[in-house]
Chains A and B, each alone.
Chain A
Amino acid sequence: MPRNPLVMDCGIFTTRYKDDMAILHHPGAKLKVLAVIIVFAAFPLFASPYYVGVANLVGIAVIGALGLNILTGYTGQISIGHGAFMGVGAYTAGILTATHGLSFWIALPLGGIAAALVGAFFGIPSLRLKGLYLAIATLAAQVIIHFLIIHTPSLTKGTAGMVLPAPQIGSYRLDNDLSFYYLILILTIAAVVFATNIFRSRVGRAFMAIRDRDLAASVIGINLFQYKLLAFALSSFYAGVAGALWGHYMGVISPEHFTINMSIMYLAMIIIGGLGSIMGAIFGAFFMTLLPILLREAVSLFGGVFANISGIILSMQDAIFGLIIILFLIYESEGLAKLWKNFKEYFKLWPFSY
């Protein structure tokens, strides 16, 4: 039934389970999603290549952050090794394309699968370890993987880094920001849709049960070991794909990109965006990718005032990230996603809010 645009929502009332499970509850929501996709698809037409490049980085970060949110936000398993899992994906795909000349389209999923296997391996301790101990175990994964990347130069060329070829469709090379934009856009949308759907399924509900109380979950018949490993594998698959994409987009990968700082950056994304929320991962990725860029522009306005500006910027960036993480944790632990929701709810009732 067409809805009167002037009438406000007062709730979602469904009469069948099928309707209840729908992602988009009314035609308006479908239009809205369509509009958002059209805006993103048309974005490069009116943005300069620089901003298209920024958008590419955001897209890759969205995929990575979604992965971490599956593990940390939805399953409650803290991981400080996400950066290393991205590295596994990037290096696997990179070795396959650069050294063995395999097509990017095969190497991309293989990179994801390799990362998933490694992630699942380091997820094994999660059956016995919780909270702090698990965080430290994943930190060990980060350090060990980083060491292996540096010290197997026959495969990874060590600290020198690898040069990766641009992906090709037939004879068309995806070697500029614009062509990559659509690839990343499609993959990001696929990643968002897949993640949304996981959490409407049995697997996703099991993840959330484990997060809320894992012993209780195991009492109602959830196989903890299997589902925790699955969460690690899925999360690392996302990380691996994001890493492989990033590597081929940048054209160069080296071990210094996949350090603990990267892992912390992704943790910060999902905390600031909102733990356990798809929108949260998206908001967080936008925020954390754009913040350094905005910061640099803001500081360059005062470029004449300070000497040695570029050195200070990096430190300031660290300090501001740290401060923002703490402030969000204290004042809005559900992140930007919650702020956005509050904003929408406010205007749902406006001007008759009570």
Chain B
Amino acid sequence: MDFFLQLVITGLVVGSVYALVALGFVLIYKSSDVINFAQGEFLLVGAYIALTMVMLYNVPFLAAVALTLGFCVLLGLLVERLVLRPFIGEPVISVIMATIGLSLLMRGLVQMIWGTDTRTFPGIFSDTPIRMGELVVSSVYLWSLALAILLLVVFNLFFKYSSTGIVMRAAADDQMAALSMGISVKRIVAITWAIAAVVAAVGGILLGNINGINPTLAYIGLLVLPVVILGGLDSIPGAIVGGFTIGLLEALAGGYLDPIFGGGVKEVAPFVVLVIVLMIRPYGLFGKEIIERV
């Protein structure tokens, strides 16, 4: 039973990070129908920049996080302007390939700058684990769970009440109608990319504190795809539910099935679920069904 609870906690923590990264995917998809295969690389860049500031320039951790987020806003805007803007109205395959190209470019640059060794954040969260009854949970896990949930709540409120958030939802719902209401869709898309980069950077910093940072961290961008498909590409609650579900699934599959199959089930289980979901409900649990007419 302890083992089970331990797995559940791990699953929830990983799931909360997944939900964060998935949120970035969903935001971009909702506002511009683009799926960003470079989301994992945004995460990598965020994590490395925060790390460099903390390690090389001795910036206090919170200040470093704030600066990193500021930088990621710029990065998101820049990427949108230089790479994505030319693809407005282009076929899906071009856009997909452009973001795949972007991911290669960013991963290459990151490796050229920071190398491929695993680096760890200096102990920012206390090392003493927290005891909850029988369970032992390291404080990093709790922090990241709390932060992720906080961010998810903040974004939900942002979309519900702030005028920018409402405008973004309008643009996502119907670009043409939004344009005719005097909303600048280009501006909205740019903001979306900035937010997505920021969210990814937060995810990167959290994961970096849990596992250390190396370029393979970028693969989380692919691991999150089952999350967004499960929840539906255009649903924010879907991203959150999907994130926790896939996180739990991964942890449980890893805990119980890995010893049987000799490892690796953890990585592949979400994709098996993905195929099943795609066969049964192609638009995810909460996604909007698209009806096509000739």
Residues of A in contact with B (beta carbons under 8 Å apart): 72, 76, 78, 124-125, 128-133, 135-137, 139-141, 143-144, 147, 150-151, 213, 215-216, 219, 260, 264, 267-268, 271, 275, 311-312, 314-326, 329-330, 333
Contact = CB atoms under 8 A, between A and B. Distances in A.
A326 B108 contact: no
A132 B35 contact: yes
Main secondary structure of the interface of A (DSSP, over half): helix
B112 A312 contact: yes
Interface stretch (B86-94, B152-160, B176-184, B191-199): B86-94
Nearest to B108: A319
Interface in B77-100: 83, 86-87, 90, 92-94, 96-98, 100
B267 A143 contact: yes
Interface residues of B, number: 47
Given A144-B268, A319-B108, 8 more contacts: A125-B275, A128-B282, A131-B92, A140-B274, A147-B268, A319-B107, A321-B101, A322-B101
B104 A318 contact: yes
Nearest to B98: A329
Contacts of A316: 108, 112
B115 A326 contact: no
Contacts of B101: 268, 321-326, 329
Interface string B9-46: 00000000000000000000100000100000000000
A329 B90 CA distance: 10
B103 interface: yes
A98 B14 CA distance: 42
A316 to B, nearest CB: 6
A76 to B, nearest CB: 7
Interface string B258-278: 000110100110011011001
Contacts of A311: 115-116
Contacts of A135: 35, 96
A322 B111 contact: no
A129 to B, nearest CB: 5
A329 B94 contact: yes
Given A319-B108, A322-B108, A216 B225 contact: no
Contacts of B226: 140
Contact of A325 (B104, B115, B275): B104
A77 to B, nearest CB: 9
A215 B96 contact: no
A329 B101 CA distance: 10
B229 interface: yes
Interface string B104-118: 111111111001100
B135 interface: no
Contacts of A330: 86-87, 98
A89 to B, nearest CB: 21
B105 A136 contact: no
Given A143-B271, A315-B112, A76 B104 contact: no
Contacts of B86: 330
A144 B294 contact: no
Nearest to A76: B93
Nearest to B287: A133
Contacts of B293: 215
Nearest to A124: B279
Contacts of B115: 311
Given A136-B229, A325-B97, A144 B275 contact: yes
Contacts of A139: 222, 225, 271
B213 interface: no
A215 B294 contact: yes
Contacts of A264: 100, 104
